[in-house]
Structure 1
Amino acid sequence: MDQFRQLQAFVAVVQSGSFVRAADKLDCSKAVVSRLVLELEAQLGTRLLNRTTRRLSLTDSGSDYFERGRQILDELADANAAASATTAQPAGRLKINAPLTFGNLHLAPLWGEFLKAYPQVELDVTLADRVVDLVEEGFDLAVRISAATSLQSSSLVARPLSSDRAILCASPTYLQRAPAIAQLKDLAQHSVMAYSYWSAGDVWTFAGPQGPESVTTHPRLRANSGDTCRAAALADQGIVLQPGFLVGPDLKAGRLVEILPHYRGPALGIHAVYPSRKHLSGKIRVMVDFLAQAFRQPGWL
């Protein structure tokens, strides 16, 4: 126990830059902090800190010891947080961001079930298709849908929930009156309803029989809402490239028809994204587990 307190004191001094601030952080006196660090140095038989009247600095031994000591304390804090999450009832406000259409179609029906299961959690749900900055905007968790390899931020943890693909389709009426589509390049001559947030812009790429193929489209309509693109397609105005979770029911009912089915649209990954694994709160942990279970067998696949 004494060595643990010594390590706490030493790491706090280094992180705060002074014995006084370390004492405030540990809720004890400066004399206690100083004694603990001196005892640690004596026990190790080496000086960890260079002390002057103006500043503190780490010795070579102190630098190595600090890095290892900080890691030990961080791992202990993580273990405590994980244990608390499994025993304590999740509580508090959980701020979530999700895409507009997916949020309305596939998340909204789940919130009531979650609230019943966790009565002490409050949900604050914001639906927007733009990519929010979780830390800057104060979100605990986001559901993101993107090309399977596009989650590149090393600062975020992404847990897969499900998958989908973008499907090229149009209404039967539009296809009857428009020029025939025999090859992918024929799309360049057609009316297209384009989703503004599509990462590749007007260039649509598919996995074709001979490998990847791309075509540059010429949108007649652009919208930052997949629902708007779908509505225009249902009104016989052109072709859309939209996820199965949105157009799947229309394809099954015959309101839309898949075009060039031997060309596979981009794979989409559906993830729960949160800032860090460290000190993960119980409310985030249970929400991620809840969503993973809910989308284990999604209806659109």
Structure 2
Amino acid sequence: MDTLLSLRVFTEVADHKSFTAVADRMGMSRAMASKHIQHIEARVGARLLSRNSRNVSLTEAGARYLVTVRRLLEDLSDAENLISTDTLVPRGTLKISMPVWMSTPAFARMLSDYHRDFPHVVFDFDLSSHKINLVEEGADLALRVAFKLDEGLIARKLSEVTFQMVAAPDFLDHTTRPQTANDLIDAPLLAYSPVASDGRIKFGGSEGLDVKMRPVMVSTNESHLHLSALSGMGYAILPNWMTKGDLDAGRLETVLPQVTWPKLHVHAIYADRSYLPAKVRSFLDFLASKQGLESGLS
């Protein structure tokens, strides 16, 4: 059998988790797609996919093998482009995972600027805060402010974001504008569950916060917390990228502006490889440039 084709079938099945869908996409029967997987498994002497009547998933060996195979196929594709055009033209689908709070009008304008320069790149975004497996989920990049790198991944620092406590003016008018951290004890908190699900807010030194608030909402979705803060439901700690427009327009106020709020770095996380596909490299360079993340969200 054509081993290269078998490798392509393997990566497609790993991405789409369906033999039927991949067979339709690649113009072959489901039985033939299965034979290609069996061919690869026989060559490596290991089971790469677990499958039953309803589900297809990577085995541990399959996940490790996919890292090398995906790099091989991407490098081959780039090599073919290099030979045919004498240059690497960014093209194809660029899959990016990032938290929903990064989806701002300024970020959208920045993507539009990139698209004008590289019209053959198609964006595919996963807007969530959960840590993803870049290899298993087929993502090219993850944009994160907090992370623990898995083996085979590297990070590139892009920009900085400040998280600060905000509340709606009407809410503050009907309660009180806190003057010290103690004024927030037992105050209603719209809590980001991975950080403060119990209502404990603690960071910084003598000018920081160490206070127990009262959660009235717990969520992993920053947009939901943002909307609830705008509606006057309570206090929320949100990134300035998300709240800048509301603060400028007076729809939200910064609580305890004298506090030194935490600043975190935004990183691009991607698979470590000797040669990045043109679509990934060009987008990373764009984010790091003066036209990229820093200026696009200031």
TM-score range, shorter chain: 0.5 to 0.7
User: In structure 1, how many angstroms separate the alpha carbons of the residues matched to 2:196 and 2:133?
Assistant: 17
Percent same amino acid at aligned positions?
Answer: 29
Letter in 1 for 2:127: L
Q: Partner of 2:115 in structure 1?
A: 115
User: In structure 2, how many angstroms separate the alpha carbons of the residues matched to 1:220 and 1:237?
Assistant: 8
Give the drift of 1:296: 3.1
8 Å contact from structure 1 (residues 205, 265) kept in 2: no
> What pairs up with 1:213-224 in 2 under 5 angstroms?
213-224=209-220
> What pairs up with 1:166-181 in 2 under 5 angstroms?
166-179=163-176, 181=178
User: In structure 2, how many angstroms separate the alpha carbons of the residues matched to 1:275 and 1:201?
Assistant: 34
Q: Partner of 1:20 in structure 2?
A: none
User: In structure 2, how many angstroms separate the alpha carbons of the residues matched to 1:98 and 1:223?
Assistant: 17
Q: Partner of 1:162 in structure 2?
A: 159
Q: Partner of 2:181 in structure 1?
A: 184
8 Å contact from structure 2 (residues 208, 261) kept in 1: no
8 Å contact from structure 2 (residues 161, 263) kept in 1: yes
Which range moved further: 195-204 or 154-163? 195-204
Letter in 2 for 1:291: L
Coordinate RMSD, CA, aligned: 3.2
User: In structure 2, how many angstroms separate the alpha carbons of the residues matched to 1:283 and 1:155?
Assistant: 20
Matched pairs, number: 221
Letter in 1 for 2:182: K
Q: Partner of 1:297 in structure 2?
A: 295
User: In structure 2, how many angstroms separate the alpha carbons of the residues matched to 1:121 and 1:175?
Assistant: 46
Q: Point out the structure with max Rg over C-alpha.
A: 1
Q: Partner of 2:194 in structure 1?
A: 197
Q: Partner of 1:125 in structure 2?
A: 125
User: In structure 2, how many angstroms separate the alpha carbons of the residues matched to 1:231 and 1:296?
Assistant: 25
User: In structure 1, how many angstroms separate the alpha carbons of the residues matched to 2:202 and 2:259?
Assistant: 9
Query: Residue 175 and residue 291 in structure 1: after superposition, are their counterparts in 2 closer, same or farther (change >3 A)?
Result: same
> What pairs up with 1:1-301 in 2 under 5 angstroms?
87-146=87-146, 150-153=147-150, 155-179=152-176, 181-198=178-195, 202-208=199-205, 210=206, 212-293=208-289, 294-300=292-298
Q: Report SS of the residue matched to 1:169.
A: strand
Give the drift of 1:151: 4.2
Query: Residue 130 and residue 95 in structure 1: after superposition, are their counterparts in 2 closer, same or farther (change >3 A)?
Result: same
8 Å contact from structure 2 (residues 191, 197) kept in 1: no
Which range moved further: 255-264 or 86-95? 86-95
Letter in 2 for 1:235: S
8 Å contact from structure 1 (residues 97, 126) kept in 2: yes
Normalised by the size of structure 1, how large is the TM-score? Answer: 0.64
Letter in 2 for 1:205: K
User: In structure 2, how many angstroms separate the alpha carbons of the residues matched to 1:114 and 1:296?
Assistant: 14
User: In structure 1, how many angstroms separate the alpha carbons of the residues matched to 2:185 and 2:295?
Assistant: 36
Give the drift of 1:129: 2.1
Give the drift of 1:217: 2.3
Query: Residue 152 and residue 88 in structure 1: after superposition, are their counterparts in 2 closer, same or farther (change >3 A)?
Result: closer
Give the drift of 1:191: 0.9
8 Å contact from structure 1 (residues 205, 266) kept in 2: no
Query: Residue 175 and residue 155 in structure 1: after superposition, are their counterparts in 2 closer, same or farther (change >3 A)?
Result: same
8 Å contact from structure 2 (residues 99, 144) kept in 1: yes
8 Å contact from structure 1 (residues 90, 118) kept in 2: yes
User: In structure 2, how many angstroms separate the alpha carbons of the residues matched to 1:223 and 1:213?
Assistant: 21
Query: Residue 158 and residue 105 in structure 1: after superposition, are their counterparts in 2 closer, same or farther (change >3 A)?
Result: farther
User: In structure 2, how many angstroms separate the alpha carbons of the residues matched to 1:270 and 1:152?
Assistant: 14
Structure 2 residue ranges without an equivalent (≥5): 1-42, 44-74
User: In structure 2, how many angstroms separate the alpha carbons of the residues matched to 1:249 and 1:277?
Assistant: 39
User: In structure 2, how many angstroms separate the alpha carbons of the residues matched to 1:102 and 1:114?
Assistant: 16
Normalised by the size of structure 2, how large is the TM-score? Answer: 0.64
Q: Report SS of the residue matched to 1:160.
A: strand
